[in-house]
Amino acid sequence: MSVPKKMASSAIAFMLAISFALVGCTSNNNNNSNSGGGSEATNELGLIEEGKLICGSDCDYPPFIWLDESGKPVGFEVELMEAIAHDMGLELVYLEPQNFDSLPTVVAGGGKMDLAVSSMTITDVRLETINFCIPYYDSNQAVVTLVDSPYTSIDDLAELTVGAQAGTTGYDWAVENLPNATIKTFNQTSEGMAALRAGEIEALFFDEPVAIEHVSTGYTDCQVMQVIPTGEQYGFAVSKDNPALEAAVNESLQRLIDNGTYAEIFSRYFDFEPTIK
Amino acid sequence: MTNNFRHQKVPGSSWGLPGICLWQKKPNNTEELSHEKQPQNAINRVLVCLALAVLLLATLPPSAWALTTERASARPNDSSQKLVIGGRPTRITWVGNVAENEEVTSITLMFPVGCSLTDDTYVKVQEMIMDDPMHPQRNDPAYSIELDSTHLYLQFETPIQPNNQLYIEIFNFCLPELTGEYFITGSYTDGPGRSHDLSAQQNPIVVVAMTRTQKLVDAIGEWEWVQSWNSVMFLRVFFNPAWFVASIPVLFKGWLISLLLVTLGFPLAIPIGLGFSFMRMSKFRVLRGIASVWVNFIRGTPLFLQIYIAFFGLPLLGVRIGNYPLAVLVLAMNSSAYLAEIFRAGIQSINKGQFEAASSLGMTGFQTMFSVIIPQTIRRVIPTMTSEFILLYKDTSLLSAVGVMEQMMYAKALANTTANLTPYVVSACFYLIITLPLTRVISVFEKRLAASEGRAEPPEDTKAGRIRLGRSDQDSDKSTASLQARRSDAGESAAAQTLSQGTGLRESND
């Protein structure tokens, strides 16, 4: 009987040690930034690695981002980020695909990515943990069903099983508006689309531009049942502790919007005029 | 956010259609003046009213629908992210569609009695331009606003245009504290300045009174030590006390489901596994071949992949099985391959002399197997089987990727909406509730096994055994290592080797 007791007490000791260590770390950091704020001129943007802009994404959201045959991220967001990084004189680095739902926590925690660039809608809830740069895309929600689906309106879905990507505004929308439906979550939108095809779910909720791209390219057996106007806007997520980077990215993005580079990149991916000004 | 703009019309006083207001008010106004000419007046009045009614009938139907309520909803604000609790800040969304050829110049939303504002209440208004229904575009209209706990009044500088959608969000707004179904009513003025009632929303906003869990969660969040604890990022994100408590009831449901899946799947795997182990040891090459293909395929591929194939592949072949039965089946199939190897190793670890002794007594192969060999095997394989059970139980978490509502799925959903990873830690604790006692069971069984094999262990050996057991607490797979050590004493290392390889391969897969 003494073994579990010992284990329990050592586990508690371990936890305490960790928490003390962390308290120590954070207070040290605070001291550093308080005393030597001006001396950090070498890396005034607070980048994780000097000279590099490290971005994280789920890398599965065409036309914004997807992986090409060689596993390299491509898409509207990637080109836009490349332009911004070039403008800021930094090298753009994309991390391996991340789980979308973990992005806000990772950005807030710091130390892994400078920006989360993943078609992330600016919401009041997310703003509690992270900051956003100025919006770079106007989006809406969409409901995708199979072409031969008997359902024609959102009311038809009220009691059914539907899906959404974990941590997305599509999930939030479904939870709020379909309280009697069963809502399944997926790590990637493509997993949700596979589940839709397999009949696991009757409809999938995600962002309008991606829904339209999916049904017109790979998933021709699926259709956009309805677009739900929500007027949401995408922004690059940045840590609250890093206002310098946020300001620098904002300035750079605004410059690209003003000088037409943004519109030029936009026109390569969308057949309508950009609404961001 | 509120602004001093005052509007001529007091909301709520004259919501009726204009025609109806006339009908009610005119008699009062004219009563005294035209007292003598009452009969004539009465006829006149009826005529006027009739004419008005006809006019109304002709003009109202289209204009009555100038703005129809699309929906009104409230964001769930409880700790399980499913319920709307009254008296706690939430976000109200009201959406209405402007009809063809109509405009909306102002709107009043009337809130149910008992609503309240917070210090941070603010309103966001968007006009969604619906020229292309597949690609609505947003426009931020200029407006003046009046907001209190009873109503929201918006006067637009430029009218909301025909066909467009009006999208109003009220953040940090509290609904009534009483359980009930609530509706947002109101009125609007159209282009020509006529006022109309809003059509009723289809689905009510369902509000529940404060729950006990939520009260507890809120109370914990206010404690002083919790607040200083939460000031450390790591602790706040992984060990947030309030979210810890909030996660328990939600994850409990998922925990039961995971447990059910594995308690159904594992017993199903035992006969299948036994069957395959016999096939593996069969004299017939075909049976041996089939069994070894199956066992090697299952053990040589990740369970994750098998789940994908079963859940996404089978339906495309026209095989439609419910989610939960399919989950049980996949778990059983997967486990059967590992169990087949465990059983085979167990059977082969029985001394060959026993087979020979049994047949010399005139027993058939079948009799030997079921009354001599298997009873001895069961005792020997129970520890390994238990670790297989633990592995399978932990592997149920993989099912969340294909949308089976099990523990991990609940944790994921909770972590999503809260942007906090504490639910995962709680989930880990729930897994430990099952796995820790079971690892203990393994060590007890192993001790008994050692004792019953007829070897009184010397004191030092017991000590060594405990160290080995201690290790097996950390990783149940290693329990086979101690089994192997004992077996080698008895000169049966070859079979034990197979046994440990059986589980060793699994380890590398995971």
For B483-496, give the secondary structure using H, E and C: HHHHHHHCCCHHHH
B288 contact A CB<8A: no
Whether B352 and B439 share a structural domain: yes
Q: What is the least distance, in Å, from the CA of B128 to any CA of chain A?
A: 7
Q: In the prediction, which pLDDT does B231 show? A: 87
- E strands, chain A, are 52-56, 66-67, 73-74, 91-94, 115-116, 131-132, 137-146, 161-165, 182-186, 203-207, 222-234, 237-238
Res. A8 pLDDT band, cuts 50 70 90: low
Same domain, B82 and B151: yes
pLDDT at B313: 87
Q: Which of A246, A248, A52, A47 is nearest to A131 (CA)?
A: A246
Write down the residue that tokens 């940090």 correspond to. B172
Same domain, B299 and B178: no
Residues in chain A: 277
CB of B138 less than 8 A from some CB of A: yes
B115 and B264 inside one domain = no
Q: Within this chain, do residues B86 and B3 fall inside the same structural domain, yes or no?
A: yes
Among A25, A92, A105, A34, which Cα is nearest to A65's? A92
Do A143 and A225 form a contact (C-beta atoms < 8 A)? yes
Domain end position, chosen among B210, B241, B275: B210
Per residue in B99-150, pLDDT tens?
988 899 999 999 999 999 999 999 999 999 999 988 999 999 999 999 999 9
Quickly tell me which residue has 């070894």 as its tokens.
B292
Instruction: Give the residue, A81 or B49, on which the prediction is more confident.
Output: A81
| Same domain for B472 and B406 | yes
Mean pLDDT on B410-419: 78
- Using a CB-CB cut-off of 8 Å, the residues of chain B touching A275 are 137-138
Which pLDDT belongs to residue A132? 97
**Which residue matches tokens 């531009």?**
A209
The reply to whether B367 and B499 lie within a common domain is yes
Q: Confidence class of residue A36 from pLDDT cuts 50, 70 and 90?
A: very low
Could you tell me if residue B85 is inside a domain? yes
pLDDT of residue B451: 84
**What average pLDDT does the segment B276-304 reach?**
94
Residue bearing tokens 């729950």: B211
Structure tokens at B293: 């293909």
More confident residue, A63 or B62: A63
What percentage of chain B reaches a pLDDT higher than 90?
50
CA distance A85 to chain B (A): 28
**What is the pLDDT confidence band of residue A35, given thresholds at 50, 70 and 90?**
very low
Q: Of B10-19, B102-111, B352-361, which one has max mean pLDDT?
A: B102-111
Cβ count within 10 A of residue B264: 17
Whether B190 and B290 share a structural domain: no
Report d(CA B161, CA B463) in Å as an integer. 84
CB-based contact A26 B409, cutoff 8 Å:
no
* Gap from B464 CA to chain A (nearest CA, Å): 15
Average pLDDT over residues A229-247: 95
Contact B134/A212, CB-based, under 8 Å?
yes
Distance from C-alpha of B223 to C-alpha of B208, rounded to nearest angstrom: 25
* Separation of alpha carbons B510 and A12, rounded Å: 28
Answer whether residue B223 is part of any domain. no
Residue-level pLDDT at A26: 44
Please indicate, yes or no, whether residues B339 and B394 belong to a single structural domain of this protein. yes
Does A184 sit within 8 Å of B412, measured CB to CB? no
Residue B474: per-residue pLDDT:
39
Query: What would the 3-class secondary structure string for B98-139 be?
Result: ECCCCCEEEEEEECCCCCEEEEEEEEEEEEEECCCCCCCEEE
Fold designation for A45-136+235-267: D-Maltodextrin-Binding Protein; domain 2 (3.40.190)
Boundary of a domain, candidates B175, B210, B245: B210
**pLDDT for position A44:** 82
The listed CATH number (3.40.50.620, 3.40.190.10, 3.40.630.10, 3.90.960.10) that belongs to domain A139-232? 3.40.190.10
Domain match, B165 and B294 both: no
> What amino acid occupies position B17?
L
| Residue B30 covered by a domain | yes
Does A109 contact B128 at a Cβ distance shorter than 8 Å?
Answer: no
pLDDT tens by residue, A181-225: 999 888 889 999 999 998 889 999 999 999 999 999 989 999 999
Picking from A128, A185, A199, the nearest residue to B416 by CB comes out as: A185
- Which candidate from A23, A26, A199 shows the least CB-CB separation from B320? A199
**Which ipTM did the prediction report?**
0.82
pLDDT for A221 equals 94
Residue B275 in tokens: 């069957």
- The pLDDT assigned to B54 comes to 59
Q: Which residue of A has its CA nearest to B124?
A: A231
What are A16's strand-pairing partners? Answer: none
- Domain that includes residue B154, residue range: 1-210
Is residue B245 in a domain? no
**A197: which chain B residues are within 8 Å (Cβ-Cβ)?**
312, 315-316
Nearest-CB residue to A101 (from B233, B323, B415): B415
The amino acid occupying position B205 is: I
- Report the mean per-residue pLDDT for chain A: 87
CATH 3.40.190.10 domain range(s) in chain A? 45-136+235-267, 139-232
pTM strictly above 0.90: no
pLDDT confidence band for A6 (50 / 70 / 90): low
**Does A104 sit within 8 Å of B419, measured CB to CB?**
yes
Query: Of B138, B202, B206, which has the smallest distance from its Cβ to A138's Cβ?
Result: B138
Q: Which of B30-39, B105-114, B246-255 has the lowest mean pLDDT?
A: B30-39
Both B260 and B205 in one domain: the answer is no
Rounded CA separation A82/A89 (Å): 10
Q: Which of B403, B412, B413 sits opposite A200 (nearest CB)?
A: B403
CB contact under 8 A, A194 and B312: yes
Q: Any idea what the CATH number is for the domain that residue B92 is in? A: 2.60.40.3550
Instruction: Quickly count: other Cβ atoms within 10 Å of residue A246's Cβ.
Output: 22
Residues B154 and B54 in one domain: yes
| Count of CB atoms situated within 10 Å of the CB of B459 | 7
Contacts of A101 in chain B (CB under 8 A): 412, 415-416
Residue whose C-alpha is closest to residue B17's, from B202, B190, B203: B190
pLDDT tens-digit series, residues A122-146: 999 889 889 999 999 999 999 999 9
Whether the CB of B413 is below 8 Å from some CB of chain A: the reply is yes
CA distances for B46 relative to B26, B42, B43, angstroms: 11, 6, 5
Cβ separation A185–B206 shorter than 8 A:
no
Candidates A7, A109, A195; nearest CB to B233: A109
User: Mean pLDDT across the stretch B214-222?
Assistant: 90
Looking at the 3D structure of chain B, how many domains does it have?
2
